[in-house]
Amino acid sequence: MSIASFGFLGIFILMYYENIPLKNLLHRFIAITLFILTSFSAGILTSSASWFTPIIIGLIAFFGRVFFRLYDIKKPGVFFCILVAAMGTNINVPFNQVPILCSYYILGAVIAMLMAIIVHFAEKEAPEILEEKSISQHVYEDPGVFIDGIFYGSTLFLAVYLSAGLQLQNPYWMVISCAAILQGDNLRAILQRNIQRILGTVIGIGIAAVLLYTPLTTLETIFIIITLFTMSQIAVRTNYGLSAFFTTPMALLLASLTKEIDVPSLLQYRFIGIALGSLLGAFSAFLITTGLKFYNRSFHLHESFDKDPN
């Protein structure tokens, strides 16, 4: 079950698939796999030094946000890097076990790459040709990327501190929820996601309660998880709130595979973590958007180095 749980994280990179030339696709998958693997390892290594966790999560959020935005890697973007890093901080294992857990993740990532190759050759449309650009060109075309990265990293830095201070049973749920909300393209989308995620989580917890109290075999649980994952990926393309109906029970069933759980407290802390993380993400997005609009009037000086024509 450990292989299944951690290998499942590697399968997630298939969500970064795009119809681009195979060489570019494989380079992208390898880069994403290494970034997520580094995030996961860093998260596990900070589990024995909780004071260091917010710094690591903040740095991963900053560099990941900059990397995925500069190279225009579509959603879920840096979200899964945050997810595996936050999960890693809650895993207490000896250091000599870390390479073993990482190997499970790599196994899942390799399977995802093989599936991506199959999908690539099954595409009916020609792949989209990517324009080769240097890092300086990417930065020049998107100068706001570092401000966005600082904002994103600072918010998740705060989310880790709050979740630890509130002593939540699974503190990474609050961090993951905050990161998911901030994936919105603009403030309106973020505020809509906030409401949808909270309402969707409430219904998802109801579904999870029914499943967790049902005596299921391990094989039945695995098939239900696969079904929920498939339905969540279909639903997320049409309605973000609807996808939360399936992601919540999926996450809780995954947790039940590897350890005994107290169902009532698990459901309670799941809702608290999702709600607080969503509200923090929405509030911080509103704060930074309003602040930038306000101060833009003062710092937009319309000056240049051109000589005075007079």
Look at residue 299 in the predicted model and tell me its pLDDT. 57
Domain ranges for the chain:
1-165, 186-295
Q: Are 268 and 183 within 8 A, CB to CB?
A: no
Q: Which residues of 163-177 are buried (b: 16+ CB within 10 A; e: fewer)?
A: bbeeebebbbbbbbb
More confident position, 35 or 9: 35
Cα 257 from Cα 222, distance rounded (Å): 9
Give the pLDDT of residue 259: 64
Instruction: Spell out a b/e string for 38-49, using b for 16 or more CB atoms within 10 Å of the CB, else e.
Output: bbbbbbbbbbee
Q: What average pLDDT score do residues 276-295 get? A: 81
Distance of CA 242 to the CA centre of its chain: 18
Distance CA 22, CA 35 (A): 20
82 vs 168, higher pLDDT: 82
Q: How far apart (Å, rounded) are the C-alpha atoms in residues 2 and 101?
A: 8
How do residues 196-211 score in pLDDT, each as one tens digit? 777 777 787 888 888 8
